[in-house]
Amino acid sequence: MTDAGADMHALVERLYPLCRSITGDGVRATLDIIGEYLPLTRHEVPTGTPVLDWTVPEEWNISGAYIATADGRRVVDLADSSLHVVSYSVPIAETMSLDELRPHLHTLPEHPSWIPYRTSYYAREWGFCLPHDTLTSLAEGEYEVRIDSTLEEGHLSYAEHVVEGAVADEVIVSCHVCHPSLANDNLAGIAVAVQLARALAETGTHYTYRFLFIPGTIGSITWLARNRQRLDVVKHGLVLACAGDRGALTYKRSRRGNAEIDRVVEYVLREGDRPHTLVDFSPYGYDERQFCSPGFDLGVGSLTRTPYAGYPEYHTSADNPGFVTPAAMADTLGACLEAFGVLDRNRRYVNLSPFGEPQLGRRGLYESLGGRSDAKQAQLAMLWVLNLSDGEHTLLDIAERSGLPFETLVVAADALRAAGLLKE
């Protein structure tokens, strides 16, 4: 995973400077870069399109913004950080006093060198974000204020990548592409999703995996509205965010609380001895709250490291590429691969010789264990699989009840099926 971690971190660094929002050219530029790693199906949904209870908003783009002193010195400049302008700010070109300007300035007094991240998606406002140290250094006087932005009819952009599996039933993996220069809360999730998709394509899968690169909230609402008639194929799902900080992994259960994805991720985190936290669903957070809204109630959980708003750097300029690590992203990727490895092979079987214990020796099943260091455990796994394969229990059920490793049970089931004792 070392090389994968370095590759993911390099992608974070490459995406970091782009000025993104829920719509606009920054999202398209982000999808352009992701498209160099994965083949994408891209979608452009026009402004004004009804999507569930929402409407696709106007498209926002920005080419520059600054605050300058009377002598032309720029004290705040969008060119220095995409966080400097409140996202979706309306255009402005005025000269005003510091007192007039001050209500439009956002800082973090408790972290005076950091720039906060602020948005104004659905209100016609404007503003700048800057370090508190910069604000306190501003002298009284006149300032030139300029935001070269546009809010006009356009599109909401998102993209999908599909890893075709043996069956049409789908697992969706969602990450958001709308935040500007925030490395953990946005870009690390994208990087892990890209690497995860590539790894799954190499191994081959049972399920079809659909990766969604969408703006937060309005993106998932738009995707759900446009895919409403085919949601019956979505069997499981995972939202990736905050995937690269040094904190332990956190899994947030789906609204159902006991969906198969919930049990699988909990099993993998527990059995892998990874430090982790499990939390119940709440209707606040990332796009899991849209997928788990009561009308859809999909089995979609959320995997993060430190959860949103759980670290001081959240939604600030301190969430930069130095805040995320290759090792942390590799650990997140590893947990996803292990979870999907279990999910992809978690089957129900029926014992074809259920009356008494079938004779394993004459079918060569005992002999096949000869020389294995875990022969006794493998034999026990066969007995457990036979006993609980009644069409009701999955291999995960058997693993949890028997205490045997899931991998051992998969091998046992494969051997029993080859011997004609099980069917799926």
pLDDT of residue 369: 57
Q: Which tokens belong to 364? A: 């060569």
pLDDT of residue 79: 97
Is residue 184 domain-shared with residue 262, that is, in the same domain? yes
Last residue of a domain, one of 129, 152, 175: 152
The binding site for Zn(2+) consists of 179, 185, 315
pLDDT of residue 46: 98
pLDDT of residue 359: 87
Instruction: Name 301's Cβ contacts closer than 8 Å, sequence gap at least 6.
Output: 237, 238, 239, 251, 252, 253, 254, 259, 261, 262, 265, 288
Last residue of a domain, one of 95, 118, 152: 152
Cβ-contact 31, 40 below 8 angstroms: yes
15: domain range?
Answer: 2-57+156-345
pLDDT of residue 368: 61
The binding site consists of 179, 185, 315
Cβ neighbour number for residue 293 with a 10 Å cutoff = 16
Q: What sign results for the dihedral spanned by CA atoms 312, 314, 315, 321?
A: positive
Is residue 167 domain-shared with residue 270, that is, in the same domain? yes
- Listed residue (167, 206, 249) closest to 342, CA to CA: 206
Distance CA 259, CA 281 (A): 12
- Beta partners for residue 170, in sequence order: 208, 234
pLDDT of residue 139: 95
Distance CA 258, CA 239 (A): 16
Is residue 201 domain-shared with residue 307, that is, in the same domain? yes
Cβ-contact 191, 243 below 8 angstroms: yes
pTM equals 0.95
Is residue 195 domain-shared with residue 333, that is, in the same domain? yes
Is residue 27 domain-shared with residue 46, that is, in the same domain? yes
Is residue 333 domain-shared with residue 393, that is, in the same domain? no
Is residue 241 domain-shared with residue 275, that is, in the same domain? yes
Is residue 125 domain-shared with residue 174, that is, in the same domain? no
pLDDT of the chain along its 424 residues, tens only?
669 999 999 999 999 999 999 999 999 999 999 999 999 999 999 999 999 999 999 999 999 999 999 999 999 999 999 999 999 999 999 999 999 999 999 999 999 999 999 999 999 999 999 999 999 999 999 999 999 999 999 999 999 999 999 999 999 999 999 999 999 999 999 999 999 999 999 999 999 999 999 999 999 999 999 999 999 999 999 999 999 999 999 999 999 999 999 999 999 999 988 899 999 999 999 999 999 999 999 999 999 999 988 999 999 999 999 999 999 999 999 999 999 999 999 999 999 999 998 988 888 887 665 555 677 888 899 999 999 999 999 999 999 999 999 999 999 999 999 999 999 9
Cβ-contact 265, 303 below 8 angstroms: yes
pLDDT of residue 2: 62
Last residue of a domain, one of 301, 321, 345: 345
Distance CA 159, CA 197 (A): 14
pLDDT of residue 30: 98
CATH of the domain at 385: 1.10.10.10
- Listed residue (163, 161, 160, 198) closest to 344, CA to CA: 163
E-state strands within 123-242 = 128-129, 142-152, 155-163, 170-176, 208-214, 234-240
The total number of structural domains that make up the chain: 3
Is residue 263 domain-shared with residue 363, that is, in the same domain? no
